[in-house]
Amino acid sequence: MDKGEATIETGATKSSEGHESKIGRVQAVGYHIPQDMVAEVLAKLPAKSLMRFRCVCKTWSSLIRDPFFVKLHQNQSLNKPCKTGLLMSSKHQLFNSHFVFADHEGKQALEEDTISIPKSSNVLGIANGLACIVNDKHRISVYNLSTRESTTIPPPPQEIRFQDRLSFGFDPLANEYKIVKFCAHDKEQFEIFTLGAERWRRINRKHYNFYGGTKWYDFKEAICVNGVIYWMVKSMAESLKINLHSFDVHGEKFQKVAVPGNGLCLFSDLIQIEGCLAVIQDSECGNKFKLKMLQDYHNNVWTHKIIDIPLGPKDVRYPTLAGTLGTGEILILDDHFSGCFRLFYSDMRSKRLRSAKIALPSFFGENKWKRYYANHYSQTGENDGSWLYSASVFSFHHVENILPLEEDGQGFI
Q: Give the burial string for 142-170 (b: 16+ CB within 10 Å, else e).
A: bbbbbbbbbbebeebebebeeebbbbbbb
CA quadruple 272, 277, 279, 285: dihedral positive or negative?
negative
Let me know: does 195 contact 178? Beta carbons within 8 Å. Answer: yes
Q: Compute how many other C-beta atoms are within 10 angstroms of the C-beta atom of residue 211.
A: 16
According to the model, what pLDDT value does residue 387 have?
58
Q: Which amino acid is at 161?
A: R
**Predicted structure pTM score:** 0.84
Q: Compute how many other C-beta atoms are within 10 angstroms of the C-beta atom of residue 394.
A: 18
The helix (run of H) or strand (run of E) holding residue 72 is helix 67-78
Q: Which amino acid is at 197?
A: A
Q: 336 phi and psi, to 5 degrees?
A: -155, 160
Of the candidates 287, 286, 326, the one whose C-alpha atom is nearest the C-alpha of residue 307 is 287
According to the model, what pLDDT value does residue 293 have?
94
According to the model, what pLDDT value does residue 93 have?
59
235: left (phi over 0), alpha (psi -120 to 50) or beta: beta
Dihedral, 95, 222, 173, 191 alpha carbons, nearest 10: -90
Domains of the chain: 35-68 (no CATH), 80-378+387-395 (2.120.10.30)
Q: What is the pLDDT of residues 137-171, one digit of tens each?
A: 889 999 999 999 999 999 998 888 777 888 999 99
> Distance (Å, rounded) from C-alpha 87 to C-alpha 141?
17
Of the candidates 151, 191, 192, 153, the one whose C-alpha atom is nearest the C-alpha of residue 174 is 192
- Strand 376-380 and strand 353-359: the pairing is unpaired
Q: What is the pLDDT of residues 20-61, one digit of tens each?
A: 444 444 443 445 677 788 888 999 998 989 999 888 888 888
According to the model, what pLDDT value does residue 12 have?
45
Let me know: does 170 contact 128? Beta carbons within 8 Å. Answer: yes
Q: Give the burial string for 102-135 (b: 16+ CB within 10 Å, else e).
A: bebebebbeeeebbebbeebebbbbbbbbbbbbe
Q: What's the longest Cα–Cα distance across the chain?
A: 82
Q: Which amino acid is at 370?
A: K
Let me know: does 274 contact 305? Beta carbons within 8 Å. Answer: no
According to the model, what pLDDT value does residue 19 have?
47
Q: Which amino acid is at 352?
A: R
Residue-by-residue DSSP string for 16-37: TT--EEEEEEEEETTEEE-HHH
According to the model, what pLDDT value does residue 265 have?
79
Which residues of the chain carry a pLDDT beneath 50? 1-30, 209, 212, 408-413
Q: Give the burial string for 61-70 (b: 16+ CB within 10 Å, else e).
A: ebbbbbebbb
